[in-house]
Amino acid sequence: MLKRIKRILIANRGEIAVRAIRSIRELGGESVAVYSEGDKNSIHKDLADISICIGGPQASQSYLNIPAILSAVDLVHADAIYPGYGFLAENPNFAAICEKSNIKFIGPSSSTLRLTGDKAAAREAAKKAMVPIIPGSPPVNELKDALEIASKIGYPVLIKAAAGGGGRGMRVAHNPQELTRLLPLAQREAESSFGDKTVYIEKFIENPKHIEIQILADEHGNVIHLGERECSVQRRHQKLIEESPSPFIDDNIRKEMGEAAIRFAKAVNFTGAGTVEFIVDKDKNFYFIEMNGRIQVEHPVTEMVTDVDIVSWQLKIADGQKLTLYQDDVKINGHAIEFRINAEDPQTFTPSPGRIEKLYLPGGYGVRVDTHIYQGYQIPPYYDSLIAKLIVWGKTREEAISRAKRALSEFKIEGLKTTIPFHLQILEHKEFLKGTYTTSLVDREFLK
């Protein structure tokens, strides 16, 4: 149960807001939902103990509107803010304002977020913590510097936004001519998306695996990991399917990656729930990418195989409580897979907002659905297209895949297009079935 913080404002929407409301209630707290005019029919505002409209439908008018969110905190006398993922979840300035205002930000400190959000600084922190990093550069602004660095590293190289994420401000150059053409494009996209055109150059690992380690760290210096998640089914760097454990790595690599993630978390004074992300090459060499200082969309995968409630631990850690789990307590049981159900055309991945005319949710043993949708709900066009997450568990990977096929075939959403047919296609693909798939699978096989 919560001891210090009692009333928590959820600065988010959709399924993660619903999840937070449930965990807060189970721990004896009160939840405050904020919502935009575009979310006036959203279920999270009705499930919370208190709900407040904070602005117009655009995210900039509401979920990214810091003064409006802080006014809501003052209005209801909230003790803490739960940021979820996206929006302000990793905004160090927002976290700093909360700290100065004596509002508990449920996540790492502003200084940690500032460090982990700067990819170049995070690379240096990883290097000092003896975490393997991809050969790369300090921040780059001039083309001549980029060309010189790339010639030393060797092509192909990856141009990445220093303050970025989600694949924005990222380009692959296979030769000096491509680097000359793509560098200004990446800089413009970085400035447009993040307000900072700074980029850096690193060696591009072709056809890697994307594997991440889930971290829990309390405010008393205790840090553990909850194993890994394989996130290699991606469309242009956007994750679509995640599973745990990875079918690719072995116990020795798993142990090394977990220990490396803990070293990094300690090096940046991390607290809360976060994820240290790696890419892994065909020879099972792993390299640090970044740390996400927030809950991940795919956290239920880890919960299903560890029986650890990650969101509740986020709240308890923010409440000042010590972890009661030790690393030896963490056991991986069975196999779990998560499918992101997006309101998108399954062939082109273009958004498909609309009214849900009919809805059947799958169920049964080993099936979990995290969602905020309901029959008759009008999906607003202003936000991310994620409308549900289907998570399945099985004693083995084969059983989990079989259960996933059954559950996806039961999942009926009529009135708009969704990515359910795409997921069923992936489950028949030989590379996925073998576990040999890489981050190139979707772009190579499904976006021709």
Q: What is the pLDDT of residue 138?
A: 83
Tell me which of 203, 222, 248 is where a domain ends: 203
- For the segment 327-331, the average pLDDT, to the nearest whole number, is 97
pLDDT digits (tens, 9 = 90+) for 79-104: 999 999 999 999 999 999 999 999 99
- Contact between residue 309 and residue 330 where contact means Cβ atoms under 8 Å apart: no
15 and 29 co-located in one domain:
yes
Among candidate residues 7, 294, 340, 403, the one labeled active-site is: 294
186 and 215 co-located in one domain:
no
122 occurs within a structural domain: no
Q: Which of 132, 436, 432, 89 is nearest to 278 (CA)?
A: 132
Task: Please give the helix or strand (H or E) that residue 404 lies within, else none.
Answer: helix 397-410
The number of angstroms, rounded, from the C-alpha of 314 to the middle of its chain's C-alpha atoms is 15
Give the integer Cα–Cα distance in Å for 105 and 107.
Answer: 6
Q: Which of 86, 116, 12, 109 is nearest to 318 (CA)?
A: 109
**Mean pLDDT over the full length of the chain:** 95
Residue 303 has phi, psi (to 5 degrees) of: -60, -40
pLDDT digits (tens, 9 = 90+) for 21-32: 999 999 999 999
pLDDT digits (tens, 9 = 90+) for 365-386: 999 999 999 999 999 999 999 9
Q: What is the pLDDT of residue 387?
A: 98
Tell me which of 203, 235, 253 is where a domain ends: 203
- Contact between residue 65 and residue 55 where contact means Cβ atoms under 8 Å apart: yes
Q: What is the pLDDT of residue 169?
A: 74
180 and 269 co-located in one domain:
no
Q: Which of 2, 17, 87, 89 is nearest to 51 (CA)?
A: 17
Q: What's the structural domain count of the chain? A: 3
Q: What is the pLDDT of residue 8?
A: 98
* Catalytic annotation present for 368: no
* Strand ranges for 148-260 from DSSP E: 157-161, 171-173, 199-203, 209-217, 223-235, 238-244
pTM above 0.85, yes or no: yes
270 occurs within a structural domain: yes
163 and 218 co-located in one domain:
no
Q: What is the pLDDT of residue 157?
A: 95
97 and 75 co-located in one domain:
yes
Q: Which of 356, 346, 423 is nearest to 387 (CA)?
A: 356
Tell me which of 106, 121, 150 is where a domain ends: 106
Q: Which of 209, 191, 173, 222 is nearest to 435 (CA)?
A: 209
pLDDT digits (tens, 9 = 90+) for 250-290: 999 999 999 999 999 999 999 999 999 999 999 999 999 99
Task: Give the CATH number of the domain where residue 404 resides.
Answer: 3.30.470.20
User: Is the backbone peptide bond immediately before 57 cis, with ω within 30 degrees of 0?
Assistant: no
One-letter amino acid for residue 8 of the chain = I
112 occurs within a structural domain: no
pLDDT digits (tens, 9 = 90+) for 341-362: 999 999 999 999 999 999 999 9
152 and 224 co-located in one domain:
no
Q: What is the pLDDT of residue 407?
A: 98
Q: Is the pLDDT assigned to residue 47 strictly greater than 90?
A: yes
Residues with Cβ < 8 Å from 438, sequence gap 6 or more? 207, 208, 209, 232, 431
228 occurs within a structural domain: yes
Dmax of the chain from CA atoms? 60
127 occurs within a structural domain: no
Q: What is the pLDDT of residue 86?
A: 93
241 occurs within a structural domain: yes
237 and 183 co-located in one domain:
no
Give the integer Cα–Cα distance in Å for 221 and 117.
Answer: 21
Q: What is the pLDDT of residue 170?
A: 86
267 and 369 co-located in one domain:
yes
Give the integer Cα–Cα distance in Å for 210 and 206.
Answer: 12
- Please tell me the chain's helix, strand, coil percentages from 3-state DSSP, rounded to the nearest 5: 35, 25, 40
Q: What is the pLDDT of residue 139?
A: 86
111 occurs within a structural domain: no
Q: Is the pLDDT assigned to residue 119 strictly greater than 90?
A: no
Q: Is the pLDDT assigned to residue 163 strictly greater than 80?
A: no
Percent of the chain with pLDDT over 90: 89
Q: What is the pLDDT of residue 141?
A: 86
> Domain residues for 88?
7-106
Q: Which of 93, 129, 96, 92 is nearest to 113 (CA)?
A: 92
Residues with Cβ < 8 Å from 150, sequence gap 6 or more? 157, 173, 176, 179, 201
Buried/exposed code over 80-92 (b: 16+ C-beta within 10 A; e: otherwise): bbbbbbbbbbbbb
188 and 218 co-located in one domain:
no
284 and 351 co-located in one domain:
yes
Most confident range, picked from 159-163, 177-181, 189-193: 177-181
282 and 424 co-located in one domain:
yes
Task: Give the CATH number of the domain where residue 175 resides.
Answer: 3.30.1490.20
Give the integer Cα–Cα distance in Å for 62 and 88.
Answer: 11
